[in-house]
Amino acid sequence: MDTGTLKVMRKEEEDVISKLPEKVLGHILSHLPTIEAVQTSVLATKWRYLWTHIDNLDFDADDFLGDRNFFMDFVDRVLRLRHTNDIEKFSLRFYDLKSDLRRVNDWIRYAMSCNVKEIELLLLSSDEEGIPVRLPDNFSSCDSLVALNLGNDFVFDIPPTNKCFPSLKVLHVDVTSPDDEFLNKLLCSCPVLEDFSICGDFQYGGDYDYAFKISIPTLKKLKIKLIYDDFKDELDNEFIIETPKLEYLSIQDPSIAFFVIDEIPSLIEAHVGIGHTNYVRDNLISEYRALRVMEVLKGVRNAKSLTLRENTIATLSSAFNDADDFPTFLHLMHLQLGIDYCFGWKLLPHFLKISPILKSLVLEKEYPMDEEDEIEREANFGWISPRFAPYCLSQHLKEIKMKNLWGSEDEVDVVKYLLENSKVLEKMCIKFDPGKEIVKEELDENMIIKFPRSSEKCKIEFFHHFLRSPSGKSPKEGLLLEEGSSCSHGSLCANLLSICFPLISHGFKTEENFFSFIHILPKSLMLSSVTSSKFFYLVCDEERRRRCYPTEKVLGHILSYLPTIETVQTSVLSSKWRDNLVSEYRALRVMEVLNGVRNAKSPTLWENTIATLSSVFNDADDYFPAFLHLLHLQLGIDYCFGWKLLPHFLKNSPILKSLVLEKVSCHILAKWLTWCISGINIIWFCYSSGISHGRKG
């Protein structure tokens, strides 16, 4: 392509961008951090002032590497040169405020004058830690403000009429030494507030008792999170909640403050995590404190969905033994309970009894801190079946999920009881997580499948710990085992393997996850069609894209499944990569996979698999499995070892009807070796299409 054509193409691209209005380009730049938006001014003359149209201002002092003067001058210049009147969002994070509060308040006033809709502030001063920052006097009169996020303690003037922020719907505050009188006055002065959350880390509060009153008729969502380093039984913080229209409530409080919750008829979802399991174990929680948790439980009795963390269950279990002490949840349809390691399943029968229309149940087991805790829990707090089956089991409960099971004896009793008494149950999902040494292995998939079921429609599915999504959570769709699956280990469904490759390729981020699949695959009894290389290519491509291997062991293991040329090419990257050629240990892993697909009728083994096996096994008959059901075989013939293994595959495939042999060219390898011998450093870019490109470094 000649130079003239390139210039025309660049001109056309430039014309397309220039046709967009400046306000549109400014809106696009608004989605960048402000410092990056301003940096676009160096791209071309016409871009010099495009950033002045941005309507989101995001200033973070961390972007300026500690140069506070440069940061403040930058903010001043941006605010001075802006063309747009209105501001959608103003974010400011300044971690070394010192004596510049007046200057910072000028920035906030500027945002207020531009009809700002959302403000996010985090202003810290190392000289005055724990002391509230005073915002502009007229801050509460900002009529346009819809959302306010205050990342540390603030104070500002509230008018005598107790009316401020007429449009404010969302308020989030983080406090360390709160002024409860100020916050109470603020909350009752916001006429349309719908979403309020407070996070209190009271490390500077001393032994002072706080009293908060959240009386907001319009509030729909409330989140309270309290943080304490040490448990202090003498503290008596109080929260009075008067929110008749509340739909969502979340409380996290290890200190067990006193919560007074008025009737909430509109409550849909509630999350309660009060107390601390360790405090219960160490007998630090008094019955008086446990009664406070019961009061919270009564306050959320109208919820349709309720989550009680294991700390809440442990605190309640330490003081209450009778279901009559608990409120009745007449509207509850979804319940999630954390099963703590101190009291186990003690309260589960009570919650089933007091939830008459329950449809969905989630039980998440907590790991014990050490083996002694496990012994104590099993000895005293195992499962005790109730005398009469709860009403919800026979009439309404349709789905049960059990997470983090250890395979212990008490779980056998719980699973068996739920299956035997849930008459309308449609699905039970079980996730084993054998990541601890305490696993007893007294409960497994084969045993559960044989348990009697009261519901003929009930299906059982199993999730396993070795599959994780990129976020770290268990995937919604994974390797599931249903009753009809033909799998000896009980953890790999042959019929689902072929459609799960994309999920698997995202799942192997750790050595544990990678090797667990390798060990389980050979135990599969029947695989109708498996392409081993497809699986390994996806894993390798994902890891290569991230360029972060946990250990040399895993790095070398992954290289074992690359074509030999790609394996050798990695040796020029650094000295760390030179020793990761195929070892017998790694090749044995490939042989394990081959053994795992021995019942396949139509396997495809690409040249990378053949090369890895050929590099180690000289007498393959000692290791190769017999492919008794093999009808169609496709082999990739690599350029290093050629036809070496073909006789072995023919010998071990007695009923083979179709054979495909695909030979791979060695042109790229010869070219690469020529460059290496000449001593020129090469940087290689390997693409999933199989094409490799090199250039001088």
**Contact by Cβ (8 Å): 336, 360:** no
For 536-575, list the strands marked E by DSSP: none
Task: Give the list of residues 6+ apart from residue 300 with CB closer than 8 angstroms, or none.
Answer: 249, 261, 264, 267, 270, 272, 306
CA distances from 454 to 190, 231, 357, 495 (A): 54, 46, 18, 27
Q: Which helix (H) or strand (E) holds 374?
A: helix 371-380
529 and 643: one domain?
A: yes
Q: What is the pLDDT of residues 472-485, one digit of tens each?
A: 333 333 333 333 33
The answer to whether residues 382 and 526 belong to one domain is no
| Higher-pLDDT residue of 531, 423 | 423
- What is the residue-averaged pLDDT of the chain? 73
Name the domain boundary from 465, 481, 501.
Answer: 465
**Burial (0-12, 13-18, 19+ Cβ within 10 Å), 470:** exposed
Residues 345, 288 contacting (CB under 8 angstroms): no
On whether both 390 and 530 belong to a single domain, the answer is: no
Q: Establish if 338 belongs to a structural domain.
A: yes
Distance CA 195, CA 564 (A): 59
Is there a single domain that holds both residue 532 and residue 656?
yes
* pLDDT range class, residue 16, cuts 50, 70, 90: low
pLDDT per residue over 419-433, tens digit each?
A: 999 999 999 999 887
Residue 163 has which token pair? Answer: 């009316």
- Would you give the DSSP letter of residue 679? T
Same domain, 399 and 538: no
pLDDT over threshold 80, residue 141: yes
CA 51/CA 174 separation, integer angstroms: 32
Q: How far is CA 32 from CA 36, 43, 299, in A?
A: 6, 16, 43
pLDDT tens digits, 323-368: 678 999 999 999 999 998 778 899 999 999 999 999 999 999 886 6
Q: Which carries the bigger pLDDT value, residue 372 or residue 62?
A: 62
* Residue 172: pLDDT band with limits 50, 70, 90: very high
Dihedral (CA of 282, 288, 291, 296) sign: negative
Residues 417 and 547 in one domain: no
76 Cβ neighbours under 8 A, 6+ residues apart: none
**Which of 21-25, 240-244, 313-317 is predicted most confidently?**
240-244
Residue 403 makes CB contacts below 8 A (sequence gap 6+) with 362, 363, 364, 365, 431, 433
318 or 525, greater pLDDT: 318
**Average confidence (pLDDT) over 648-658:** 86
Q: Is residue 285 part of a domain?
A: no
Residues 569 and 648 in one domain: yes
**Each residue's pLDDT tens digit, 290-316:** 889 999 999 999 999 999 999 999 888
Helices (H) and strands (E) in the chain, counts: 24, 25
User: Measuring CA to CA, which residue among 377, 349, 379, 384 is closest to residue 363?
Assistant: 349
Amino acid present at 627: F
pLDDT at residue 89 is higher than 60: yes
- Tell me how long the chain is: 697
Q: Which carries the bigger pLDDT value, residue 441 or residue 281?
A: 281
User: How many domains does one find in the chain?
Assistant: 2
- Highest mean pLDDT out of 197-206, 278-287, 655-664: 655-664
Same domain, 420 and 523: no
Beta bridge partners of 464: 432
Within a domain: residue 46? no
Question: What is the distance between the alpha carbons of residues 496 and 480, in angstroms, rounded to a whole number?
Answer: 8
> What single-letter amino acid sits at 482?
E
The top-scoring range by mean pLDDT among 15-24, 291-300, 541-550 is 291-300
Query: Is 183 part of any domain?
Result: no
Give, rounded to a whole angstrom, the gap between the first and last alpha carbons of the chain.
24
Note the pLDDT tens digit of each residue in 613-647. 877 666 655 667 888 888 888 888 876 677 888 88
Task: Report the amino acid identity of residue 681.
Answer: N
Please say if the pLDDT value at position 70 is more than 80: yes
Q: Would residue 15 count as lying in a domain?
A: no
**Domain span including residue 568:** 519-665
Q: Determine the pLDDT at residue 504.
A: 37
The structure tokens listed for 326 are 């608990």
3-class secondary structure, 22: helix
Does residue 452 or residue 566 have the better pLDDT?
452
pLDDT value at residue 522: 39
Give mean pLDDT, residues 480-504. 33
Question: In the block, which residue shows the tokens 């495909």?
Answer: 660
Contact 300, 306 (CB under 8 A): yes
Is 542 a residue whose pLDDT tops 60?
no
pTM of the predicted structure, to 2 decimals: 0.65
Alpha carbon distance 464, 36 (integer Å) = 43
Distance CA 5, CA 1 (A): 7
Angle at 310 between CA 307 and CA 313, to 5 degrees: 85
Task: Report the candidate in 136, 178, 135, 183 with the shortest Cα–Cα distance to residue 153.
Answer: 178
Q: Are residues 446 and 380 in the same domain?
A: yes
pLDDT surpasses 90 at 3: no
Does residue 626 lie in a domain region?
A: yes
DSSP letters of 337-352?
A: EEE-TTTTTTTHHHHH
Ranges 237-251, 268-282, 405-419, 538-552: which has the least confidence: 538-552
Would you place residue 110 in the very low, low, confident or very high pLDDT band (cuts 50, 70, 90)? very high
Would you say residue 533 has pLDDT above 50?
Answer: no
Please report whether residue 227 resides in a domain: no
Alpha carbon distance 282, 293 (integer Å): 18
Residues 459 and 555 occupy one common structural domain: no
Type of residue numbered 257: A
Structure tokens at 559: 């290289």
Q: Is residue 143 part of a domain?
A: no
- Looking at the structure, do residues 530 and 418 belong to the same domain, yes or no? no
Furthest CA-CA distance within the chain: 94
Using 50, 70 and 90 to split pLDDT, how confident is the model at 654?
confident
| Co-location of 306 and 443 in the same domain | yes
Task: Tell me: pLDDT of 243 over 90.
Answer: yes
DSSP 568: H
Residue 584 has pLDDT above 50, yes or no: yes
